[in-house]
Amino acid sequence: MKGQELKFRLVSTDSIAAVNVKVVNIVSEKTAVSNALGEFTMHAKPDEMLVFPSENYEYKRYLVRDEDVKKKVITIVLIPKAVQLDEVVVNKNLNPEDLGLVPKGQKKYTPSERKLYTATSGPVDILANAISGRTKMLKKQVKVERKEGLMEKLRYQFDDSLYIQRLKIPADYVKGFQYYCIDDPEAVKALELKNKVALLQRISQLAPTYIELIAQEEKESQVSGKP
């Protein structure tokens, strides 16, 4: 089946729109970001995996299904991350000079002055930040390419019938389960060592958990009650 432009809506568990969430199609490597309504469009087709890396929500995977291409809007529920606050002890009698954090008499900057000083502290810092950003981008690209390579290796290890009949993975979710397996360190190790027995043993252990995830995802879709 050919891919097509699909419309998605991201909502949190409290039905509030999930805004500015990045989504990556790990098959085509296309990316998008949800708008103020939590919506985005992406060219995709069944069996392609979308992932949602976010600082505000739990990591989410979504496998595009055959029925999704018939929907006007595909609703996906994201789980907000819990925020852990550090304990703060306030003592009005202490200041940075008393604590020895800064020399006595040091010039004090306003918040705006501090930002300006940081941004213009020198060309070396600016260059270092640029290189750091570029390095992070390249590392992400290498990670995606490595996953695709592992996926290709895994596809040739077993027939789909093994996943469906022996592991009880629904036919529409076989490819999604394979992506799930290559996120598991033990499965990846067995795959790279070409240890087919160990690989089969590990994916057999992963199958029940993945089947539970499918059931949970379908339940969330029913709760949202949206097409």
Q: Residue 211: exposed, middle, or buried by beta-carbon count in 10 A (0-12, 13-18, 19+)? A: middle
Distance CA 105, CA 42 (A): 57
Per the DSSP assignment, residues forming a β-bridge with 92 are none
- Across 9-36, b (16+ Cβ under 10 Å) vs e yields bbbbeeeeebeebebbbbbeeeebebee
In a domain, 214, yes or no: yes
pLDDT the model gives residue 10 = 96
pLDDT > 70? residue 72: yes
Shared domain check, 11 and 50: yes
Of the candidates 163, 142, 171, 156, the residue with the CA atom closest to the CA atom of residue 63: 171
* Residues spanned by the domain of 202: 157-218
In a domain, 59, yes or no: yes
Shared domain check, 118 and 73: no
Q: Which pTM was predicted?
A: 0.42
The 10s digit of each residue's pLDDT in 186-216 is 999 999 898 999 999 999 999 999 999 888 8
If one counts the domains in the chain, the total is 3
The 10s digit of each residue's pLDDT in 22-51 is 998 887 888 999 999 999 999 998 888 899
Are 179 and 61 in contact by the 8 Å Cβ rule? The answer is yes
pLDDT the model gives residue 221 = 72
In which band, very low, low, confident or very high, does the pLDDT at 85 lie, cut at 50, 70 and 90? low
